[in-house]
Amino acid sequence: MEIPWKKKKNEQMGSAAAAASANPFDGGASAEDSAASPQSEDSKQAHGAFTPKKGRPTPKRNDIERERGIRRGYFEAPLTSKEARQRRKELKASMSKEELKAVKARERAERREQRRIADERMAAGDPRYLLPRDQGPERKLVRDWVDSRRFLANIFLPFALVLLLVMMVGTSMPKVANIASIVAMVLIVGLFLEGIYLGRRAMKLVREHFPKTSEGPWGIGFYAYSRASQPRRLRTPRPQVNIGDDIK
């Protein structure tokens, strides 16, 4: 015969075991553990290890790309131009005028965005977007060397515009036209001599840094002179060095 208070204790232990067997994933957590869990979360939040919930599910990448018009699903590129024209005709036939107009507007916007990105990356000197004339470490070295110095060729384009204007009004002002022609001849001689110096100096610099280069003196010389003859703000790619920087 069990004493009444021992009987009550055995009943409580049996009910606790039944609850644990009914919920095997509970890990046998007691009321004291559940009461202590908010305190542990508060301690995690105080120490910076607690990340609050967003309150919404994370969107899928495919859904985001479709909303932005980037993802269009699987597309097999045409093998020939004839197949591409045939697909274009079928696409036009399957759409209304409004739908076709919307597709063309979207394609124009995508082309403008692609050109804008390509121009920005090319101006920044990204090798993936450079023109063939600007590619290669030798051309990069020549660009930096030219951009770090001032040359007489820097004023070639502005002077050519002024000279053209003087020649246009030279019929009414012959003395000014004669003086301008003399100055132009002197400047042309100076530009010719400077062009020879630019080509020789740029090629010497390239051979010092790249002894096994396949670049020829004419290509390097003309590239250096054409770079120097452009105004600094209009050069593409943009100058990556300042005037006065030591480029050896």
Q: Could you tell me the mean pLDDT of each successive run of 10 residues in the chain, 248 residues long?
A: 52 54 46 45 52 73 64 61 79 78 86 89 87 90 92 84 78 78 86 92 92 90 91 89 84
Q: How far apart are CA 10 and CA 196, in angstroms?
A: 107
Taking each helix axis from N to C terminus, what angle separates 217-228 and 174-209, rounded to the nearest 10 degrees? 130
- Predicted local distance difference test score (pLDDT) of residue 50: 59
- Predicted local distance difference test score (pLDDT) of residue 196: 93
Three-class secondary structure of residue 72 per DSSP: coil
Instruction: In the chain, count H helices and then E strands.
Output: 9, 0
- Predicted local distance difference test score (pLDDT) of residue 177: 77
pTM flag (> 0.85): no
- Predicted local distance difference test score (pLDDT) of residue 23: 46
List the one residue out of 78, 98, 95 whose CA is nearest residue 87: 78
Question: Cα angle vertex 211, ends 209, 216, to 5°?
Answer: 100
- Do 141 and 206 meet the contact criterion of CB atoms below 8 Å apart? yes
- Predicted local distance difference test score (pLDDT) of residue 24: 45
- Predicted local distance difference test score (pLDDT) of residue 77: 66
Those residues with Cβ within 8 angstroms of residue 23's Cβ, 6 or more apart along the chain or in another chain: none
- Predicted local distance difference test score (pLDDT) of residue 148: 92
